[in-house]
Amino acid sequence: MSSSSPQPTLFTPFTACIAAYSLPEEFTNPFNEEPHPLSLLAAEELQHHLQTQQDWEHNFGLQPEQEGAVIGKMFGVLVVRNQLQEIGYLSAFSGKLAGGFHHKRFVPPVFDSLTQGSFLNRGMQELSHLNAEIKSLQAQEKLGHQPQIEALKERRKNHSIALQGQLFDQFHFHNKAGKQKSLRQIFRHAANGNPPAGAGECAAPKLLQYAFQNKLEPLALAEFWWGKSPKSAYWKHGQFYPACREKCAPILSHMLEDVVLAAQSH
């Protein structure tokens, strides 16, 4: 279906009747602690989908007998109005899910770095090669190899920085007016001038990108954690959280430039 279609395939109509719900007059602030009731309903329907779908398998740590590494995940829902004035919602996950970026019902990534033969795959192979060379020389325990090892480490560092920069340049974010900015442009005036690792892969930017590209009006956003809590984080299964400040605040500031936001609650 073309991107100019009034009802893209990822526009999900509510299963429940929403006649009793009032629509938000202004787009809900992404940094609010309290999601709009329609966002909560959309999240409830998405959570039901996560519990019943059979298309992919991901170990969230909720089933003790399940195999594979336990990876909890942040999910997001964006309540939208399409060009037919119908109300529905979009769904997204942060990063990868079940080892991939593309799954039924979920919006695609802003940039797909897993494409076969991509510069990122080639770059990662080069890093693996450098790591193997360093490890091999270190295993030989000869002092004469130290300058060679240091040179390889410097080469690895420079290659890694260049690869990260090349990746950042592939992320271009749209706003309501159709204006695009790359990650590096967005973070140019941030604390250290560089985007943090993983910037642009969170659920909120992915949802807004899809909405703007497909002429869907954003109404309300909510993000929730699904799965076991990481040891170092405060995220709890099924709880809702505002958009992250470090990775998302500069991106969302650009993406929501022409969107009237509701006042932030405290």
Phi first, then psi: what are they for 249, rounded to 5°?
-55, -50
**Cβ-proximal residues to 52 (8 Å cutoff; 6+ apart), any chain:** none
Where along the chain do its domains lie? Answer: 12-110+181-255, 119-165
Closest CA to 38 of 55, 11, 10, 19: 19
Q: Which pTM does this prediction carry?
A: 0.82
Rank 20-24, 165-169, 232-236 by mean pLDDT and report only the highest: 20-24
What's the rounded Cα separation, in Å, for the pair 212 and 145?
Answer: 55
First to last CA, the chain: 41
- Residue 2 banded pLDDT, cuts 50, 70, 90: very low
Q: pLDDT of 46-67, one tens digit each?
A: 999 999 999 999 999 998 888 8
Q: pLDDT of 97-156, one tens digit each?
A: 998 999 999 999 998 876 655 776 787 788 888 888 888 888 886 667 788 888 888 888
What's the rounded Cα separation, in Å, for the pair 206 and 188?
Answer: 21
- What pLDDT, on the 0 to 100 scale, is given for residue 6? 44
Averaged pLDDT, 191-211? 88
Are 238 and 47 spatial neighbours (Cβ–Cβ below 8 Å)?
yes
